[in-house]
Amino acid sequence: MGLPQLPALPAPSSWFPGHMMRFTRQLPALLKRTNVVLEIRDARLPLTSINRTLEGALRKWRLERGWDPNNPGRRFFAVEACEHIVVLNKRDIVPEWGLEPFQKAMEKKFPHQRLHFASCQRQKDIRNLSDMLVKIAKDFPHAMELNVLVLGMPNVGKSTLLNALRNMGIKGRTPKAFQTSANPGMTQALSTRLKLSLDPLVYAYDSPGIMLPFLGRGEEGAERGVKLALIAGIKEGLYDMRALAGYLLYRLNILNPNAPAYLPLLPPGSSPTNDLEEFLSLLAQRMAMIKRGGVMDLTRATVYFVRWWRGEVGTMETDQSLPTADTQAWGFDFQWTMSPEDRVRAEQDYGLVVQEKMERCIEDYVMMSEREEVEEGNVSETQIKKKAVKEEKERRKARYLSKR
């Protein structure tokens, strides 16, 4: 099987309902009574699930609390806690070998953020995160309480993680604090305060998942939209399931071309394939998805494949073996090529080589984001028109006032 080719992707769909806009406008005021921002991202999409629409407000919040804009590790004054913790949720479905190199690469690029890997299935992860919040609260003993604001894209597991933190921090029987759903958009308003610890007092607010107002233009925007749709971060129905299945097959073949994660779904003895039609036929055969006349039900197989990836049906085992192909990847956001020189160095320290590759991927992501901002590639045509209309109204108002 040759190197898979990126399939044709649909144009990115826009999904930014009113409750997301309202919360985005409320954020600066909410940060004034916030001590810790707990930003949840999906470990499979550690870059794509960065909520870029909120970064400006978070930067201003840090500056108002005394952090040096030129030295992210230096703080001029520290009257109250001000920490930005990034939680990479669902760590159990990405290979362990990439966690440490990724953490080092991110700390190098974003030294002002604390990075924490978590899975709600691992009590140790929840305990460590709870201890981290308690320690921050104890570092400011004169404060009456620590207020934590939970942010993130839709369906990255914010409510589920908060429920786990509550159960860890409050002894005895505790009812489920927040409703959760496999579909995005369950939380549509800022929650009431949820107590996470009694001594010291730690409270948390759950917030609506905030999607990007516009996913971007060209291939980058299209791929970003498909990635987020694959983790159910975008409203169901905005993307064709077959397009999602085609991209998912492509990505899984890059992650492990010799034994991709989907092989156990196919009939015994099946080989990896880049052909979506062939793959869906084999999947339908194995799952006995047959229509009248003995025709394989490829539509059902398509939906099953995507739902399996989301963890809604069946089970998926994470491949922990080190990649051996020339083209390597970790999650859906990191992909690099191993040169002969890289392979020689990797024999001595594979983690260091991976860290360097990840640093380059992160730098490329940051440069792409900055380029999109300059070229307004992250702004839709409708938003550009609204901005132009607003500016024209302001000019007319200024001319009118100047003549009075």
Stretch 206-222: mean pLDDT: 85
CB 246 within 8 A of CB 263: no
Q: Over the stretch 47-88, which tens digit does the pLDDT of each residue have?
A: 999 988 888 899 999 999 999 999 888 999 989 999 999 999
Alpha helices in 84-232 (DSSP H): 99-109, 123-138, 158-169, 218-230
- In the 8-state DSSP scheme, what is residue 319? P
Pick from 9-23, 244-258, 275-289, 327-341: least confident: 9-23
**In the chain, what percentage of residues exceed pLDDT 70?**
90
**What is the structure's pLDDT at 181?**
46
* Confidence check: pLDDT of 188 > 50: no
Average pLDDT over residues 25-46: 93
Q: pLDDT higher for 312 or 13?
A: 312
30: pLDDT confidence band, cut at 50, 70 and 90? very high
On the question of pLDDT at 174 being above 60, the answer is no
pLDDT at 27 over 70: yes
Integer Cα distance of 75 and 69 in angstroms: 9
Nearest CA among 73, 77, 81, 76 for reference residue 139: 81
Q: Give which of 266, 316, 308, 300 is closest to 286, Cα–Cα.
A: 266
Token pair 């880049």 is found at 274
- Mean pLDDT, the chain, integer: 87
Q: What is the pLDDT of residue 185?
A: 44
What tokens were used for 265? 């779904």
Give residue-wise pLDDT tens across range 301-310. 999 999 999 9
Asked if pLDDT for residue 186 goes beyond 50, the answer is no
**What are the tokens at 12?**
């990115």
Residue 290, both tokens: 């047959």
3-state SS assignment for residue 378? coil
Retrieve residue 358's tokens. 């990840």
CATH 1.10.599.10 holds for 1-13+215-325: no
Confirm if 333 and 48 have CB atoms less than 8 A apart: yes
Q: How far apart are CA 308 and CA 305, in angstroms?
A: 5
Reference 81, options 57, 62, 68; nearest CA is: 62
The pLDDT value recorded for residue 347 is: 93
Residue, of 310 and 389, whose pLDDT is higher: 310
Distance CA 218, CA 88 (A): 28
Candidates 140, 92, 95, 98; CA nearest to 119 is 92
Q: State the CATH class of domain 18-205.
A: alpha beta
Of the candidates 305, 100, 162, 121, which has an alpha carbon nearest to the alpha carbon of residue 297?
Answer: 305
Confidence at residue 361, expressed as pLDDT on a 0 to 100 scale:
96
Starting at the earlier edge strand, list the strands of the sheet with 113-118: 113-118, 83-89, 36-42, 146-152, 202-205, 194-197
Residue 135 has pLDDT above 70, yes or no: yes
CB 130 within 8 A of CB 196: yes
Domain ranges of the chain: 1-13+215-325, 18-205, 338-404
State the average pLDDT over residues 155-171.
87
Give the pLDDT confidence of 137-160 residue by residue, as tens digits.
999 999 999 999 999 998 888 888
Question: What is the rounded (10 degree) CA torsion for 129, 132, 134, 135?
Answer: 170
* Buried-exposed string 79-105: b where 16+ CB fall within 10 A, e elsewhere: eebbbbbbbbbbbbbbbebbbebbbbb
Place of tokens 């060209």: 218
Residues 6+ apart with CB under 8 A from 160: 120, 180
Angle (deg, nearest 10), helices 218-230 and 241-255: 90
Question: Residue 363 — φ and ψ, nearest 5°?
Answer: -65, -40
